Every structure is written in structure tokens, then in C-alpha cells.
């Protein structure tokens, strides 16, 4: 008996856009002189402007505008000729003025893109690269923080007025994995550009995701759901994947998606509805009459362009091409700007890139991590690392000894030569007759092994090396010992 | 009218400065005189919302000590000056005439306050005003009305009615008000004193309770044009705390008065002399025009064709800005909070319902409406365009003339309660609003009295940042007539 074939379920694809808020690292707040900061006693980073006292007026902090222009230049955005401010009106206790100073129809940055790399087929192989186009980046002020108790809510305005960028992507991402890659790349760009520390635990980077599904091949957008409170990059990925599954299962059952805002709980991997579209605000945007438009001229842009670092992916391509390094080495270095800068300083002094890369990635990073230091705080100067590499290369210090020398270089900042001398870590001289004498003694002392070697058993030479190394107290270069033994065995 | 016969509280600021410099009077005596005068007239006039005589006396003693040490800070040192209660003074109440701020004490000084302190002025008296500076009669004060010193049953004008009345009654030697659509000039005219609204941005707004940010401007009241120039000198200038303050080169406004006054070209905008102008006001202003002709000025009629749209434009822009500016009064951080709120919405709704008066609510609702989605282009955006046209009207007129001369108010002081219809009240500002929309300096100068003994003023409107010329033109008339030196029988 046959049953009619079940209708083939439509195949859906996800369309995802991200709104990322990045706090700009400035000394003072965006519209007043009071300090910006995290972790202070509640309501200590306030003044009449932050508290919106009667008569207080905002005055723009140029450092915040510098930062967003720099972000725009790094991401290839078009920079507006004029920075203009608007008021976004809505009542909420975390907003002291009950309007937020923001940018509505004239963001500082339009267009641009974030380059991302998807996971490769293996850890040592580069993955696929994509460019995720941006809609806009605008500048605004952060709001305060509400702390809800059982019977009352408290407000802390320390965060209120911290400069904030909103980076809006086009709906061009297709998966949680892409969102993860997008945020990783964006965060590195912001951190390396000196724009923000992007510490998500401190709320310096916050992400909302707009997610909709549509049948594969369709060009229209489905009903979108906004996912909020995604407070780590992994939660963004997981929350998006969860939401895609949720929507797909509704659609496959023939249901409809409700336009709403949902709250994703990364700990439980579940989400729940916060509000539906009917409660959407009319923000009554209008130009802020307290702030004058600021002209951003070419000279200003050029000054900031000169401060822009090379982007991580650009640097990686250059490292691969210029230094012939393995992909895995580049993918460690380029995401850590101080480390990559240090690496390049060492290479510029004449070190072989791969060897330098190994020392920096393995030894320097290990010591830095153990000491809890940044690369910039390392006491191993590039010149000293190059000197150590030369000692190893020439055989003057053996690899194992060099590791010891490096640890002491890190601890003291002394030169490798001084340490090798002080600690007696130099290899035995290879050009003196001493080594040759030890080799002759070893051959004479083990005629059996010598004979076996001469009769073609290559491995027998190893039995002769032990006595030589013992005589050299471990400081002989194994390569030179090997060569010397072979030469003597061939001629003797 | 000389200093030997004039009571201390009725001295002009310039006379008081001279007397202080000559040692004929001390700041303590001047200050005691205005405090005594206030105590005498306040029960009937009610121009003050609060006053701190002890603080004023301490400031006066400090001034006298400075002077005794040979270190006077200038013409304002030791002069009692009062402030409209929309200007922040550290540790003093700042109510803006509203229940919302009835118990609010400002923790900081406005920039003008700081500058007056730096000039040695003795700050005395916080003056009544329409709530949040919205009104033309001071009847919108949440606390009490203020009488007109020339007729106590009549209004002093508004919104800076308390500051004009206090000066006319001798409760200060000069005062500061704020002017968004005429709030300095109209009460100056109705109380018979000089009132100047400077160019937008000439005086810092930092510490001024905002009504409509793009129109608000602080300015002085004085008994003479010269007094106004002396106060302006102290408070004007760029302020890094106000992005809209202009970075104009410093000028000596008082010196500009002494400059030989070349015959100037005055324009009479025909749109300002039409229907609705009280005949007695028209006659008094015409006499002032005649005086200028006699001084050799060339007087010609000009046209400001967009004048009929000024009032509507103003009420769109001012209310839009106000709806946003007043959103901060929510009962959360300071100001009035309703008793036992059930939840956040209840706290917002009842705090604002109880804290704001009817006119403030009317303007918040109007402003919220014109900014709403779907109405923005038709109202706010269009009003901004008309505003540009209004400014162009003025700038075109200034290609032909040096200043415009108009009535300040279409009518003299009206009776309390007479203008119950808000639209009738709004018409009080039809001659003053244009200068706010265009950002121009404008000054009301007293020019006589009606048959009923009510003061009348004319308005001079000047070019952008043209205060020196405007003051010189006003002074040319005022130095002769000195209508502001007359005293009400109070």
C-alpha cells in the first residue's frame, strides 16, 4: 500500500543584520567634561549635564568624533562632510533628558564593509573570506543603568553620556557562524584602531540581531525578529542559530512569524518575547538646537587616516606574501597588534620571519601570559631577540640552552650574549681540535659500533654520539658532532 | 533726577557706579535700599519669587571691602542686580515659575551668573515669570501673578514680568530676563524700562532653563540704554559651555554710546503698523520717529513680507523644542514627584500632570504633535523654511537701513485676566517674535505714556551682532527723554 508523497518542505535561508553598539574609549563623556569610566561608585561620574539639570547644555567632545571618523576610515565608509545631531525622544528612567542625542538622517559614516573569515577546512588552512556591507555608523550617547530590586528600581547614571557608536550592517549575514566571524573581525578592528576596548562584559560592545527566514531563491525579506541581550560573541552565534531553528520549525509547520523583540538567554539557550511591534515608538527625531553642526574637512580626515593601522586581514595577506610564513603563524600574529608590531620590528632587524614567528608565538607569548603582561611591556627588545636568533643560527647557543637564555632575557632584559656567558650556556667551540679529539676517543672506545656503521648500519653512529656529548658536557652542537663523526669514520 | 535727589533704589546703574567710585555711597547702602524697597512694595507688587537678603548683604560687604582695598571690579561692582527665576544661581532656588521646580535648588551657577559675580555685582532677588517662560503676562506663574508698578491691577507683561516690574519699582538697579519671543522687550515696554534681547548666541545660555533653545536669549533690563549697555558688557561673550554662543570679538558697548552719532537710516516695516495697533501706542511711537527725524536720521518705510507667518512659525518651532526640552522634568531625579506612584507610567503621568500648568501642557502637546511621524514635514520642516525666509526679509531690509523701528507691543499693559483666550495672549508678541526667529538684536526703549498713565515703548531691531550700533541709536533718543527714569506712584 502506498501513501501519497508528503509535500516537500520548503528550504529556507536565513537573512541576518546586526546592530552593534561600541562604546568609544575617551577620557570624558561625549557632551560634557566629566570622566567616562566603568566600575565606579554609582552616580559619581555625573554633573549638571549628565543629570540633565535645568539649564545644562551639551558640548561635543571632539575625541569622540575623531574615533567614529577613524572607524569609518578603517571600514571603508563614506564620511559625511558635516556631523549633525538629532534628538531621539522617548521616556525611560535610564535616559536623563528623556531624549537621546543621536544622529538620524545624517550619520557620520555610510557604506563600508567588514571583512570576515569563515572557519577553514582545517585549523592550518585559511577559510573563505567575505565582505559584509555596512549600512551606516552613527554617534550617540549611552544611557544609564537600571538596577531593579524587589520593590524599587535604582538608576546609576555613570554610563549615561558615554560616547557610543551604532554600527548597522546590511541584512547580509546568513548564519550564526558568520555573525561570530563578523563580530570577531569588527572587534579586532576597533581594538587595533584604538577606538574601543570592546570588552563585552563591561558592555563596551553590545549586539542586537535582526533575523528573518525566506524560501531559498526568494528576494523579498521575511518577517524579522529582533534578538536582544546577546552578551558574548558565542551567545550571538548560538542565539542566532537558535532563532533560525525556531523560525524554521514554525514555517515548516505552516505557521507565521510574529514581528517582535526576543530576549535570548545564553545560559539556558532559550528565548522569550519582550515586546511586539505594536508597542514601537515614534521617536520624534528633530535636529538638536543646542549643538551646532561640525564640518569634517579633508585635512581632518587625512590626519586621522594617518593614525589608522593596517587591518588584520590586510596584514595577514602581506605576511603570507612577504614573509612566506605558515598560515597558522599569521593567524596568531595579526589579531594581536602589539605582538604583530613586535614581530615586524624583529624581522626588520634582519631575523628570519619563520624563526622569529616561532619564538614570538611560542616563547614570548608563554612568558607574557605567565607574567600577565602586554607585548609592549616585554623586556625582550627586538634587537636582543634578533641577537638570540643569530646565536642559535650560528650554533653558538644550542636550542635547549637558548630557551633558558630567553626566559632570563624576559626576566632581566639583558642581552642574550651576556646571559649565555654569565650562565655558561654557550655551545662548545666547534672549530677547535677538542671536539675532534672527543670524536676520535669515542670511535676508538667503541670499535664495534664503528665497524657496524662502516658496514652500512647508519644508526650505529648514535652509539658514538653519547660519549662525545658527555665529554662536551652537553654543549656540543649535535649537528657538528654528527658531521665530525661521519668524516672521521669515512677517512679513518 | 540727579543723584542727590533720587532715592538710592531709583538711581541709574551709571549714577550708582559713579557714586560708589566717588565714595558717596557704599554697596551696603545701595543693597539695603533695594532690600528695604522690596520689603515695602512686595506685598502689593509680588515681583519676587525668592530673595536672600543675607547673601546680598554679604556680597555688598565684600564689594565694599574690595573697593576699600583699591580693587574695584568695574562698573557693576557693588550694584544690586536681580535675576529672572530661570537663571541658575548656585545654592539658590530655581523654579522657572513652576510647581515642578518649586523645591529645586540649583547646585551650579549659570554662565551669566558667574560673569556677574566676576564683575562684582550683588545678586539679589529671583523674579517671577510665566511658567517656563511661556506667556506674555506673568499670569502663568504657578505661584502668583505680579502687578504692573504703574497700575497694580494690570499685568507687567511677560514672561520676564517680574524682572521688569522689580526694576521699575526699585527692587534692583538692573535685572536680567530671558527672551524667546519677546519676553524681555514686551514687559520692558509695559513697565516703562529699557530691555534688550541680544543677538542669538551673544550671551551664553548655559544655566538658563530652556524653553525653546534656538530662540532663547538672556538679556538685561535697565532704566536707561546706557545701563543696559553696561550690563551687556559684563554678560556677553563666547562660552565654551554653550555650543551656540558666538565667538565675536569683544566690543566696548558703553563706549559705543559715546561715539558721535552719525545720522542713521531707520526703517519702518509697514507690516508692523497695521491692524491691531493701539492708537495711543501708535502716537507715542510716531513721536519717537519724529525725534529721530529731528536728529537728522533718514526714515523710510520698508517691507518684511513674511511677517504674517511669524506667529505660526514661532508656535511650531518653539513648542517643538519645548516638548523635548521639558521632557527631563519627569519626577525621577529632581523636581516634583507625585505621591505613592503605582508604577513608572503612573509616576510620569501624575508627576507631570501635577507639576505643569495649563499653558505648559498646551505647548508640550502642540510641540509633540508637530514633531510626530507624518506631521514633521508639514509643520516643523516647513516652519524652519519660513524661518529662513523671515531672516532673509530682515537682512534684505538691512541693505537699505541701519535699524528697524517698530512698536514693541501692540497695546499697553492690560488688566489681569483680560486675555483668557490663549490666542489673544499670543498676539501680544506679534512685533517681537520676528527678531527671535531671525536671531537679531532688538531693544525696547520707553517712549512715553498712554492717557491712562501706562508706559509705551518702541522697538529697535538691529543687524546680527549689531548691538553697538543698536545701543547707540537707542541712546540718541533715550539720553534726551529718559522715560525710564520716571517712577511709578507705588
Average pLDDT along chain B, 490 residues, taken 10 residues at a time: 76 98 97 98 98 98 97 96 98 98 98 98 98 98 98 98 98 98 98 98 98 98 98 97 92 87 88 94 97 95 97 97 98 97 95 98 98 94 98 98 97 95 89 98 98 98 97 96 96
pLDDT given for residue A492 in this prediction: 62
Chain A residue at shortest CA distance from B377: A286
Terminal Cα-to-Cα distance of chain B (whole angstroms): 17
Q: How far is A140 from chain B (nearest CA, A)?
A: 17
Q: At what angle do helices B27-45 and B161-169 cross, to 10 degrees?
A: 120
Q: Is residue B248 part of a domain?
A: yes
Q: Provide the grid cell at A352.
A: 628570519
Q: What is the C-alpha separation between B323 and B364, in angstroms, rounded?
A: 4
Cα A444 from Cα A467, distance rounded (Å): 11
3-state secondary structure of A59: coil
Q: Answer with the residue of higher pLDDT: A102 or A393.
A: A102
Give tens-digit pLDDT for A315-360. Answer: 999 999 999 999 999 999 999 999 999 999 999 999 999 999 999 9
Tell me which chain B residues have a C-beta less than 8 angstroms from the C-beta of A53. Answer: 88, 106-108, 334
Within-domain flag for B192: yes
State yes or no: is B183 an active-site residue: yes
B159 is catalytic: yes
Indicate the number of domains in chain B.
Answer: 1
Spatial CA neighbour of B156 closest among B415, B450, B480, B371: B415
CA atoms within 13 A on the CB side of B400: 16
- Choose among A91, A284, A292: nearest Cβ to B371: A284
Task: Answer left, alpha or beta for residue A400, where phi above 0 means left and psi between -120 and 50 means alpha.
Answer: alpha
In this predicted structure, the answer to whether residue A6 has a pLDDT above a threshold of 60 is no
The residue with cell 551664553 is B204
Which one is catalytic: B12, B26, B27, B84? Answer: B84
Strand pairing report for B122-127 and B48-50: antiparallel
B208–A52 CB contact, under 8 Å: no
Please state, in angstroms and rounded to a whole number, the distance separating the CA atoms of residues A262 and A272: 5
Q: Looking at the complex, report in whole angstroms how far the Cα of residue A381 sits from the nearest Cα belonging to chain B.
A: 45
Does some domain include residue B313?
A: no
Phi, psi (5° rounding) for residue B374? 100, -20
Contact B324 A89 (CB under 8 A): yes
- Tell me if B110 and A55 make a contact (CB, 8 A cut-off): yes
Identify whether B393 is part of a domain.
no
**Alpha helix (H) residue ranges in B202-302:** 225-235, 253-258, 279-294
A300 three-class SS: helix
Closest approach of B178 to chain A, Cα-based (Å): 12
Q: B-side interface with A, Cβ within 8 Å? A: 86-88, 94, 96, 101, 104, 106-108, 110, 205-210, 212-214, 240-244, 320-321, 323-324, 327-328, 330, 332-334, 344, 348, 368, 371-373, 376, 380
Q: State pLDDT tens for residues A60-71.
A: 999 999 999 999
Under a CB-based contact definition with an 8 Å cutoff, are residues B225 and B361 in contact? no
DSSP A31: S
User: In terms of Cα–Cα distance, which of B22, B1, B56, B24 is closest to B171?
Assistant: B56
- For A452, residues 6+ apart whose C-beta sits below 8 A from its C-beta are A460
The answer to whether the peptide bond before residue B159 is cis (omega within 30 degrees of 0) is yes
Residue from the list B210, B323, B372 with its beta carbon closest to the beta carbon of A55: B210
Number of other residues whose CB lies within 10 A of the CB of residue A203:
16
CA distance A162 to A30: 6
Whether residues B376 and A54 touch (CB distance < 8 A) is answered with no
Q: Between chains, do B205 and A58 touch, taking CB under 8 Å as contact?
A: no
Q: At A1, is the pLDDT very low, low, confident or very high (cuts 50, 70, 90)?
A: very low
- Nearest residue on chain A to B86, judged by CA atoms? A55
Asked if residue A131 lies in contact with residue A114, where contact means CB atoms within 8 angstroms, the answer is yes
Helix (H) or strand (E) holding A209: strand A205-215
Q: Is A282 within 8 Å of B372 when comparing Cβ atoms? A: yes
Between chains, do B376 and A286 touch, taking CB under 8 Å as contact? yes
DSSP strand pairing (A12-23 vs B48-50): unpaired
Residue at B364 is within a domain? no
Tally C-beta pairs within 8 A across A and B: 96
Answer whether B330 sits within 8 Å of A93, measured CB to CB.
yes
Provide φ and ψ at A248, rounded to 5°. -60, -40
ipTM: 0.96
Q: Kindly state whether residue B106 falls inside one of the protein's structural domains.
A: yes
In Å, how far are A176, A430, B11 from A308, measured between CA atoms?
A: 29, 49, 65
Question: Choosing from B141, B159, B444, B468, which is the catalytic residue?
Answer: B159
Say which of B96, B110, B327 has its CB closest to residue A99: B327
**Residue B356 placed within a domain:** no
CA separation, residue B285 to residues A114, A350, B409, B426, B458 (Å): 68, 89, 11, 22, 6
Q: Which of B457, B452, B450 is nearest to B483 (CA)?
A: B457
- Chain B positions touching A291 (Cβ under 8 A) are 243-244
B330 contacts on A by Cβ (under 8 Å): 91, 93, 98
Q: Closest Cα of chain A to B452: distance in Å?
A: 40
Residues B40-51: b if buried by 16+ CB within 10 A, e if exposed? ebbeebbbbbeb
Nearest to B209 among A55, A155, A285 (CB): A55
Show the domain range for B230. Answer: 8-267+399-485
Q: Which residues of B touch A46 (CB under 8 A)?
A: none
Pick from B243, B332, B334: CB nearest A292: B243
Average pLDDT over residues A4-21: 80
Cβ contacts of residue B365 below 8 Å, gap of 6+? B323
How many Å apart are CA B38 and CA B141, to the nearest integer?
Answer: 19
CA torsion A286-A288-A294-A296 (nearest 10°) is -40
Nearest to A476 by CA among A486, A487, A468, A464: A468
Query: Using the 8-state DSSP alphabet, how is residue A54 labeled?
Result: T
Give Cβ neighbours of residue A217 (< 8 Å, ≥ 6 apart): none
Which pairing describes strands B80-84 and B174-179: parallel, antiparallel, or unpaired? Answer: parallel
Give dist(CA B42, CA B34) in Å, integer: 11
Tell how strand B265-269 and strand B403-407 pair up: parallel
Nearest chain A residue to B109, by CA? A55
B197 is annotated as an active-site residue: no
Q: What is the largest CA-CA distance in chain A?
A: 101
Q: CB of B57 within 8 A of CB of B7?
A: no
- Judged by CB atoms closer than 8 Å, whether chains meet at B376 and A93 is answered as no
Write the CA distances from B485 to B116, B187, B446, B482, integer angstroms: 23, 16, 10, 6
Q: Which among B176, B241, B317, B320 is the top mutation candidate for probing chain A, defined by the most A β-carbons within 10 Å of its own β-carbon?
A: B241
Terminal-to-terminal C-alpha distance of chain A: 90
Under the banding of pLDDT at 50, 70 and 90, the label for residue A466 is confident
Mutate to test the interface with A, among B88, B328, B365, B374 (most CBs of A within 10 A): B328
CATH of the domain at B146: 3.90.1300.10
Q: What is the DSSP string of A212-269?
A: EEEETT--S----EEEEEE-SHHHHHHHHHHHHHHHHHHHHTT--PPPEEEEEETTTT
CA separation (Å) from A451 to A430, B113, B161?
25, 106, 121
CA B142, CA B159: separation in Å to the nearest integer? 12
From the list B88, B214, B332, the residue facing A54 with the nearest CB is: B88
Single pTM value for the model: 0.91
- What angle in degrees, to the nearest 10, is found between the helix axes of A312-323 and A176-192? 80
| Chain segment A257-288, per-residue pLDDT in tens | 999 999 999 889 999 998 776 566 799 999 99
The mean of the pLDDT values for chain A is 92
Of the pLDDT bands very low, low, confident and very high (cuts 50, 70, 90), residue A396 is confident
In the beta sheet, which residues pair with residue B208? B87
Report the alpha-carbon distance of residue B439 to residue B431 in Å, rounded. 14
Within a 13 Å sphere around the CA of B390, how many CA atoms are in the beta-carbon half? Answer: 25
Asked, for residue B93, whether it belongs to a domain, the answer is: yes
Query: Across the interface, do A97 and B333 touch by the CB < 8 Å criterion?
Result: no
**Residues whose CB falls within 8 Å of the CB of residue B259, separated by 6 or more in sequence, listed in order:** B472
Chain segment A136-186, per-residue pLDDT in tens:
999 999 999 999 988 889 999 999 999 999 999 999 999 999 999 999 999
Ramachandran region of residue B443, left (φ > 0), alpha (ψ -120 to 50) or beta? beta
Rounded (10°) angle between helices A233-252 and A176-192: 150
Rg over alpha carbons for chain B, rounded to the nearest Å, is 21
Task: For residues B58 and B31, give the distance between their C-alpha atoms in angstroms, rounded to a whole number.
Answer: 10
Q: Please give the full DSSP string across A77-130, using - where no structure is assigned.
A: PEEPSEE--EEEE---TTSTTSEEEE-SS--SEE--EEEEE---SSTTS---EE
pLDDT for A429: 65
Pick the closest to residue B406 from B238, B210, B207, B272 (CA basis): B272
Q: Do A284 and B210 touch (CB under 8 A)?
A: no
Comparing CA positions, the residue from A381, A422, A397, A407 lying closest to residue A474 is A397
Structural domains of chain A sorted by starting position, each given as residue range(s) with its CATH number in brackets: 12-300 (no CATH), 311-423 (no CATH), 433-491 (1.10.10.410)
How many CB atoms neighbour CB A366 within 10 A? 13
Chain A's closest residue to B110, CA to CA, is A55
Counted residue by residue, chain B has a size of: 490
Strand partners, A130: A116
Amino acid at each position: 500500500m502506498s501513501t501519497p508523497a508528503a509535500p516537500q518542505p520548503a528550504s529556507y535561508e536565513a537573512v541576518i543584520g546586526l546592530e552593534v553598539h561600541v562604546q568609544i574609549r575617551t577620557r570624558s563623556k561625549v557632551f560634557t567634561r566629566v570622566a567616562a569610566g566603568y566600575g565606579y561608585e554609582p552616580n559619581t561620574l555625573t554633573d549638571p549635564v549628565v543629570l540633565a539639570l535645568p539649564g545644562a547644555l551639551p558640548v561635543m567632545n571632539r575625541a569622540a568624533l575623531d574615533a567614529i571618523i577613524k572607524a569609518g576610515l578603517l571600514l571603508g565608509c563614506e564620511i559625511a562632510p558635516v556631523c549633525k545631531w538629532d534628538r531621539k525622544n522617548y521616556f525611560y528612567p535610564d535616559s536623563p533628558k528623556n531624549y537621546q542625542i543621536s544622529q538620524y538622517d545624517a550619520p557620520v559614516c555610510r557604506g563600508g564593509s567588514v571583512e570576515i573569515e569563515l572557519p577553514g577546512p582545517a585549523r592550518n588552512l585559511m577559510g573563505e573570506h567575505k565582505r559584509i556591507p555596512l549600512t551606516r555608523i552613527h554617534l550617540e550617547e549611552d544611557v544609564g543603568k537600571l538596577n531593579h530590586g524587589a520593590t524599587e528600581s535604582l538608576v546609576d547614571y555613570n554610563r549615561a553620556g558615554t560616547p557610543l557608536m551604532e554600527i548597522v550592517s546590511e541584512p547580509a549575514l546568513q548564519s550564526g557562524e558568520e555573525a561570530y566571524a563578523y563580530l570577531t573581525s569588527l572587534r579586532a578592528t576597533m581594538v587595533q584602531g584604538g577606538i574601543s576596548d570592546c570588552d563585552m562584559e563591561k558592555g563596551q560592545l553590545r549586539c542586537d540581531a535582526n533575523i528573518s527566514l525566506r524560501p531559498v531563491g526568494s528576494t523579498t525579506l521575511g518577517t524579522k525578529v529582533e534578538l536582544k541581550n546577546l552578551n558574548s560573541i558565542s551567545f550571538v552565534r548560538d542565539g542566532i542559530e537558535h532563532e533560525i531553528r525556531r523560525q524554521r520549525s514554525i514555517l515548516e509547520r505552516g505557521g507565521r512569524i510574529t514581528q517582535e523583540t526576543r530576549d535570548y538567554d545564553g545560559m539556558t539557550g532559550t528565548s522569550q518575547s519582550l515586546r511586539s511591534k505594536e508597542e514601537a515608538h515614534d521617536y520624534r527625531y528633530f535636529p538638536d538646537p543646542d549643538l551646532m553642526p561640525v564640518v569634517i574637512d579633508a585635512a581632518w580626515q587625512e590626519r586621522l587616516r594617518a593614525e589608522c593601522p593596517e587591518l588584520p586581514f590586510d596584514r595577514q595577506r602581506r605576511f603570507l606574501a612577504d614573509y612566506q610564513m605558515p598560515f597558522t603563524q599569521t593567524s596568531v600574529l595579526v589579531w594581536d597588534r602589539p605582538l604583530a608590531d613586535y614581530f615586524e620590528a624583529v624581522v626588520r632587524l634582519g631575523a628570519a620571519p619563520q624563526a622569529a614567528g616561532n619564538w614570538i608565538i611560542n616563547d614570548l607569548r608563554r612568558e607574557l601570559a605567565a607574567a600577565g603582561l602586554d607585548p609592549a611591556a616585554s623586556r625582550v627588545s627586538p634587537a636582543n631577540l634578533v641577537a638570540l636568533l643569530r646565536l642559535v643560527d650560528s650554533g653558538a647557543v644550542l636550542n635547549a640552552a637558548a630557551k633558558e637564555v630567553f626566559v632570563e632575557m624576559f626576566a632581566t632584559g639583558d642581552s642574550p650574549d651576556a646571559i649565555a656567558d654569565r650562565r655558561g650556556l654557550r655551545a662548545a667551540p666547534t672549530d677547535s681540535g677538542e671536539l675532534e679529539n672527543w670524536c676520535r676517543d669515542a670511535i676508538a672506545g667503541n670499535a664495534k659500533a664503528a665497524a657496524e656503521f662502516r658496514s652500512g648500519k647508519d644508526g650505529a653512529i648514535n652509539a658514538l654520539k653519547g660519549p662525545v656529548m658527555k665529554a662536551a658536557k652537553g654543549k656540543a652542537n649535535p649537528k657538528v658532532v654528527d658531521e665530525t663523526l661521519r668524516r672521521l669514520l669515512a677517512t679513518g | 533726577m540727579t543723584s542727590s535727589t533720587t532715592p538710592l533704589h531709583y538711581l541709574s546703574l551709571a549714577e550708582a557706579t559713579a557714586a560708589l567710585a566717588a565714595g558717596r555711597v557704599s554697596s551696603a547702602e545701595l543693597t539695603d535700599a533695594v532690600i528695604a524697597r522690596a520689603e515695602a512694595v512686595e506685598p502689593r507688587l509680588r515681583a519676587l519669587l525668592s530673595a536672600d537678603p543675607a547673601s546680598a548683604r554679604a556680597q555688598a560687604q565684600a564689594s565694599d571691602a574690595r573697593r576699600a582695598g583699591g580693587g574695584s571690579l568695574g562698573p557693576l561692582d557693588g550694584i544690586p542686580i536681580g535675576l529672572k527665576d530661570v537663571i541658575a544661581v548656585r545654592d539658590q532656588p530655581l523654579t522657572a515659575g513652576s510647581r515642578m521646580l518649586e523645591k529645586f535648588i540649583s547646585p551650579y551657577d549659570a554662565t551669566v551668573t558667574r560673569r556677574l559675580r566676576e564683575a562684582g555685582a550683588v545678586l539679589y532677588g529671583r523674579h517671577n515669570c510665566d511658567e517656563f517662560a511661556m506667556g506674555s503676562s506673568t499670569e502663568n506663574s504657578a505661584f502668583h501673578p505680579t502687578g504692573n508698578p504703574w497700575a497694580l491691577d494690570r499685568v507687567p507683561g511677560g514672561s520676564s514680568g517680574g524682572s521688569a516690574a522689580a526694576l521699575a519699582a526699585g527692587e534692583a538697579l538692573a535685572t536680567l530676563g530671558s527672551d524667546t519671543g519677546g519676553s524681555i522687550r514686551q514687559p520692558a515696554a509695559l513697565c516703562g524700562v529699557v530691555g534688550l534681547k541680544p543677538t542669538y548666541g551673544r550671551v551664553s545660555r548655559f544655566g538658563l532653563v530652556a524653553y525653546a533653545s534656538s530662540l532663547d536669549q538672556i538679556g538685561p533690563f535697565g532704566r536707561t540704554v546706557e545701563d543696559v549697555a553696561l550690563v551687556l558688557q559684563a554678560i556677553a561673550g563666547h562660552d565654551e559651555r554653550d555650543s551656540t554662543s558666538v565667538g565675536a570679538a569683544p566690543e566696548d558697548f558703553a563706549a559705543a554710546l559715546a561715539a558721535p552719532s552719525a545720522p542713521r537710516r531707520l526703517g519702518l516695516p509697514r507690516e508692523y503698523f497695521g491692524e491691531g495697533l493701539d492708537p495711543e501706542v501708535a502716537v507715542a511711537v510716531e513721536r519717537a520717529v519724529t525725534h529721530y527725524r529731528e536728529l537728522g536720521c533718514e526714515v523710510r518705510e520698508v517691507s518684511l513680507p513674511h511677517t504674517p507667518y511669524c506667529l505660526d512659525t514661532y508656535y511650531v518651532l518653539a513648542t517643538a523644542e519645548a516638548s523635548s526640552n521639558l521632557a527631563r522634568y519627569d519626577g525621577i531625579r529632581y523636581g516634583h514627584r507625585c505621591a505613592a506612584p503605582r508604577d513608572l507610567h503612573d509616576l510620569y503621568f501624575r508627576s507631570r500632570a501635577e507639576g505643569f500648568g495649563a499653558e505648559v501642557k498646551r505647548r508640550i502637546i502642540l510641540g509633540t504633535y508637530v514633531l510626530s511621524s507624518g506631521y514633521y514635514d508639514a509643520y516643523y520642516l516647513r516652519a524652519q523654511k519660513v524661518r529662513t525666509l523671515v531672516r532673509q526679509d530682515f537682512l534684505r531690509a538691512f541693505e537699505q537701513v541701519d535699524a528697524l523701528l517698530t512698536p514693541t507691543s501692540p497695546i499697553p499693559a492690560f488688566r489681569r485676566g483680560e486675555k483668557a483666550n490663549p490666542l489673544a495672549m499670543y498676539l501680544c508678541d506679534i512685533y517681537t517674535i520676528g527678531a527671535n526667529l531671525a536671531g537679531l538684536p532688538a531693544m525696547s526703549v520707553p517712549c512715553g505714556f498712554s492717557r491712562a498713565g501706562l508706559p509705551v515703548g518702541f522697538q529697535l531691531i538691529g543687524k546680527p551682532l549689531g548691538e553697538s550700533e543698536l545701543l547707540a541709536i537707542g541712546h540718541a533718543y533715550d539720553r534726551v527723554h529718559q522715560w525710564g527714569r520716571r517712577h511709578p506712584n507705588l
